[in-house]
Structure 1
């Protein structure tokens, strides 16, 4: 978590003052109520910011382990997926596509794939979508999109529409080389989603775990430089502004 917090504090210097974790007993109570061991990284996440996640978790709710216990107690069992899925983040939007960890994808570092599933009968079989290869990767990606990019004066979003038109989308790794030639430095983590920084700009590149194509958000301080980067990126085959 130190690496994540260092990244966040680069754009929000008081970030540590905006978060608070839970005590270990809350995790033990959640584990007992859930009936299965909690993944190691999820435990670490809760100890750092399970009570209050600051701007990083401003768009989700219900992630306090004690709230999750109530969630399982109050939700009709027929609306819940099997216990291979652990509810971790609530989606307060009308769609209510909540975030769950798929415990059957446990990695050697104690993390799990993040899946979005609404509350309805059999939704985990028909409406589930895998969105991140792990909770840690989600947090790094959100650190850029929710905390870092809003600090820049000019932002743009891009997509690779070919991935939805039956054509081969651009390769993210090759595209990363283009960004590096423009002076962006790729952070060593995350690995599936990619994070790039420059002294005057930043980019969050999102790739779903099991689908081709990607989308990205770019923030730039200076308007002239923003327009220059826009013209370069829009010349890349298969990339267009969202």
Structure 2
């Protein structure tokens, strides 16, 4: 059942384990996390603290082993697989650290995939894909396959693919890791514009201190828990003034 909330994402008391027996590891430890509508939220912390696992649980690509996970007021932890797949296709976009582009498709064809999944015609999907590629500075590469693109260009294609169906929640795992300062700035300005929409939210896992200034809110993780949240750009700047 839906509930009215200002938060795009609410996680309460979420646990996640990997492995069995003596090798079982408690990765998320009864953690809470919120991401309000209309904000760009960054999730930071040392490698191995559980950031990517938290993203995967709130995106529904991993099941929580305990706790509650709500996205736009819907308990995705209680959804059956088919319903969850539909919900994700309609509401969530992903920017993966490893790009996950299809090597046999052109840049425009890769970007069009989410629209084809939604049932759009090939012509409509490709036109929209080319428009979004223009926005990330790659309109001239629309006909190229991934093998002909640099790492930074492949990253921008992946970002365009995540944006093409205008998801309400955009989840990003190190979106600027392969980008130089100029292209990182281009991408972050685009993501910030997306987050400024009243009914959308962007969540970014990052180690890139250059982009901290774009955050409206920063959740800091350590040892499987969110231990502190800085809830304004002023607080983030005060705490991380030596970065970027």
Fold equivalence (TM over 0.5)? no
TM-score, normalised by the number of residues in structure 2: 0.26
Greater RCO (CA < 8 Å, at least 6 residues apart): 2
TM-score, normalised by the number of residues in structure 1: 0.26
Q: Looking at CA atoms only, which structure, 1 or 2, has the larger radius of gyration?
A: 1
Question: Higher strand fraction: Structure 1 or Structure 2?
Answer: 2
